[in-house]
Chains A and B, each alone.
Chain A
Amino acid sequence: MAALTTKNIGGFLARQGIIVAFVLFMIGFALANDRFITMDNIFGVIRSSAILGVMALGVTFVVIGGNLDLSVGSMMSFSTIVVLDLHDKLGPALGIPAMYGMTLALGAFIGFLVGYLKLNSLIVTLGMLSAIHGLTLTYSGGKNMDIADKEGTWFGIFGQGSILGVPVPILIFALLAVVLSMVLAKTPFGRKVYAVGGNGMAATFSGVPRARVVFMTYLISAFCVATAGLIQASRSLGSQNTVGQGMELEVLAAVILGGASLLGGSGTVFKTVIGVLILGFIQNGLLLVGLEFYVQYVVTWVIIILAVWLDIAAKRGRLLSPIA
């Protein structure tokens, strides 16, 4: 009986090591500062993380499909600047769909290059990172973009509103996470994404349209980026051109922290959400603890490595795993 229980706990740990790590950090921070576990703070952190989180949901598809997307940071700046500009030129009702159209077009272009031309996704999206940044600067002329009439618009709802006490960005994040989780886990398309990323050759011989699946993963990623840009723009009703700069690495860190393999073929939406929350709560926790900020950079890294190690150790069932 006792052996069975130990085995059950061991099995759970092996599957959910990252969640155990998450809970441990939360307890640690809660002990260090009593403000950490308050509804205000928790909602605040998840709301700030929602932008990163929404982007990470899309990148999860790309990574499981065996590719990378380093362009999401620049693309988010692009969406944010475009929607703020169109808000004043076309009005929000037309400006939002127009921004989605333009962002999806960028995603389709990347998807075409990686999926149909079979170009290396690292090179394509690294190039697009600076190309889209240039596009954004050209579009805006380098100027900060601000909505002229900040009081008289309903556009703030996506970033600042709340429904039944829950901030709207959290609702959008949660809704997208649930929908995309179903798509990935329960639909034939979802299985094809795993197949293409796990073993592309085998997928092709099984009749999976590889190019189209890869193309679709970049469209999903672009859709998520557009949504993140919408939240970002709505949150501050104004933005600088570099608002998403550097976020591509944080997004990738969240996805990998959640356990998706860089080689493709594994990962889940739910674990990506955990990865996003870990990053969000680390940042917030260190601020509340009040560490000197030079130290924060180092401690953030230490915690990420610790989380990955706990995850791996739980899977292997032992703490040390020397090579060979």
Chain B
Amino acid sequence: MKHSITATLFASTALLGTAAVAQEMTIGITQNNVGVDSYQTTYEKAFIAAAEANPDVETVVLDAGGDVARQIAQMEDLIQQQVDAIIIWPTNGEAVIPAVRKAHQADIPVIVTNSNIAEQGFDFVASFSGPDNITQGRRSAEIMCDKFKDMGIEDEAKVVHITGQPGYTTAIERAKGFNDRLPEVCPNVEQIDQQPGDWNREKSQQVMEAFLVKYDDIDGVYSGDDNMGVGALNAAKAAGREGIIFVGATNFAVGYEAMAAGDYWGSIYQSPVDDAEAALQTAIDVLNGEEVPFLNYFDTPKITQDNMDQFDKPVF
């Protein structure tokens, strides 16, 4: 009860009493690109479901379609509509900062979800809710190194690395985590190439085809997500190259199936439902004036062929 009173007070202050406050709080969200992959689609559904389950929350759900300019316009729309809080899934970690600052200046708290904006924008952000992508990259490196040690090839193994969309914070952070951690745990493993697969299965398949032509000896492939990992796996299968260890991140249903089939070794389990619910809860907590850590991570554990029976198959 105390919470809703605070929220009402907050809402009335923000709206200056111009609108009838039928709902306790209105939260706007501008997403990156719904429909580009199943993760984002499932995220949106889970977000709407979680908001509907909460009678105190009204939402304005928008999608930028991967377009920075459209996302900035949507931020401005949400500021105009005087929502109580804005959740943003940045299309670009740098370019959205001015729009985030504008919301901050209008006294609307901004919660960044899934992938953080660049550091110079942190002052304008109330909280970041999402996975810790650097830790994810580090964990993928550990999964790969552990497997090499099992196989006894930790002193000569060669790895290729397929990253996500260049310039996209998630892609940069996962790559950094992996590239920093691998030499710490497996100092003699050599990463021989790194190219972007743009979060796209077909593109990764082409990149992997080129790698297979270029290098006779590839022991491991790290991809920034399972969607790309499966593309690389397809290329290796088509070329008849066996025994390559595939490790990804963001375990997709196709990756889970490939693990069950014994073709794909491991990944990082990240649920879009957890991601969406964490973002909404963070926004609600901020509006209720609760103490929220600036980097509000939810846990994303390692999943491999050995422990996959403890996890449900991802729905996306």
Contact = CB atoms under 8 A, between A and B. Distances in A.
Interface of A: 33, 35, 38, 40-41, 44, 48, 137, 141-144, 146, 160, 232, 235-236, 238-243, 283-284, 287-288, 290, 293-294
Given A236-B202, A239-B201, A293 B213 contact: no
Contacts of A143: 38, 41, 316
Interface string B30-50: 000011111011001000000
B2 interface: no
A209 to B, nearest CB: 39
B201 A236 contact: yes
Interface residues of B, number: 33
Given A288-B210, A288-B214, A293 B37 contact: no
B238 A284 contact: no
A29 to B, nearest CB: 12
B206 A241 contact: no
B316 A243 contact: no
Given A238-B254, A287-B195, A288-B213, A144 B238 contact: no
A294 B34 CA distance: 26
A293 B34 CA distance: 27
13 contacts: A33-B214, A41-B210, A48-B205, A142-B44, A143-B41, A143-B316, A232-B202, A235-B234, A236-B205, A236-B230, A239-B201, A287-B214, A290-B214
Contact of B209 (A44, A144, A238, A242): A44
Contacts of A48: 205-206, 209
B231 interface: yes
Interface in B14-39: 34-38
B200 interface: yes
A137 B196 CA distance: 25
A241 B201 contact: no
A157 to B, nearest CB: 13
Q: Dominant SS at the B interface?
A: helix
B82 interface: no
B35 A144 contact: no
Given A35-B214, A241-B36, A242-B35, A236 B234 contact: yes
Among B35, B196, B231, B239, max chain A CB count under 10 A is at: B35
Contacts of B316: 143-144
Contacts of A288: 210, 213-214
B62 interface: no
A40 B240 CA distance: 12
A154 B239 CA distance: 19
B213 A40 contact: yes
Interface string B193-228: 101100011100111011101100000000000010
Q: Which 7 A-B pairs have CB atoms at the shortest separation, nearest pair first? A: A142-B41, A142-B35, A287-B210, A137-B35, A144-B38, A41-B213, A143-B38
Contacts of A240: 36-38, 200-201, 227
A111 B141 CA distance: 52
B35 A241 contact: yes
Contacts of B41: 141-143
Interface string B239-270: 10000000000001110000000000000000
